[in-house]
Amino acid sequence: MEKTLDLKFNYTDKKDTRSGFGDGLLEIGRKNPNVVGLCADLIGSLKMGAFQKEFPERFFQTGIAEANMMGIAAGLSISGKIPFTGTFANFSTGRVYDQIRQSIAYSEKNVKICASHAGLTLGEDGATHQILEDLGMMKMLPNMTVINPCDYNQTKAATMAIAEHEGPVYLRFGRPVWPIFTPADQKFEIGKAWKMIDGKDVTIFATGHLVWEAVIAEAMLREEGISAEVINIHTIKPLDEEAILESVAKTGCAVSAEEHQYNGGLGDSIAQTLIRNNPAPLEYVGVDDSFGESGTPTQLLEKYGLNADNIVKAAKKALARK
């Protein structure tokens, strides 16, 4: 399907977003000696091996003790270090929420919580590891910045950008190989949405892996004479409300697309923004109050409706409500 559509963005390679994190961590580690890494027994899965090899004195293997890792990270930040913690998204949030709330968010510690294998695209490991609630959990914490980049290049850029940001950050990325379609030399601006494709009939707000699906959906809609605007919301919090309101004022309706529960995700944040400022039809593409299951990433995205076809359906439904 991708080859026959006139896509506004194309790709020549695919790579997992977690590798963008690993490469970004190594690069920023070379530039900033205060950057340190901590991992809960998942160095290979988090792609932190290169950083560990080059900076062994700045790397801490905490073992399968995620709560302890968060406490250590908080302590390191007090001494001026910039800790990057690494484990699966499920263990980075659900398992250690108390430690994050009490030891990091409450006192605004400069800790970067880096979470791989998020969402359904974790794949075969199944529901126990496929956290779909993490964005909601983390955005509710005062002082927490929440970022969900879309491909390898954007994840690398985001990893380097958060080292320069003072305060706690939750950085979410994934396991599967995914199209690389954003520029390698991009400047990542925390809290600034990126309008990737201009349109006038409906806005598609997408985050993470579903940005690529939104690019495909835009081409599918264009073939039917529907002009869709595609906006990459890589920063869930602070949300770029100005960009959201400006776009919906033009198009009059919108779709949110995310690899997350409806409840608490990007769609909820957009809905709150619209309700307070300019109510407009909004359709959600996400997981509808359900746990995941085992399967390949493609199988799961299709079964749970997180793909271009369902973004197109949602866009048409939103248009009908205008």
Average pLDDT over residues 102-122: 97
For the chain, the average pLDDT equals: 97
Q: Does domain 13-180 have CATH number 3.40.50.970?
A: yes
Active site residue 66: yes
Q: What is the pLDDT of residue 182?
A: 98
Residue 1 has pLDDT above 70, yes or no: no
What's the pLDDT tens digit per position in 190-246?
999 999 999 999 999 999 999 999 999 999 999 999 999 999 999 999 999 999 999
Q: What is the pLDDT of residue 12?
A: 86
Q: What is the pLDDT of residue 4?
A: 85
Count other Cβ atoms within 10 Å, centred on residue 276.
10
Q: Please give the model's pTM, rounded to 2 decimal places.
A: 0.97
Q: Quick check: do 13-180 and 194-320 share a fold?
A: yes
Average pLDDT over residues 47-72: 97
* Better pLDDT: 74 or 1: 74
Average pLDDT over residues 160-189: 97
Cα–Cα nearest to 131, from 291, 266, 17: 291
Of the candidates 2, 27, 57, 66, the residue annotated as catalytic is 66
Residue 2 has pLDDT above 70, yes or no: no
Hey, where are the domains in the chain?
13-180, 194-320
For the domain made up of 194-320, give the CATH fold: Rossmann fold (3.40.50)
From CA 98, how far away is CA 71, in angstroms rounded?
11
Average pLDDT over residues 91-101: 97
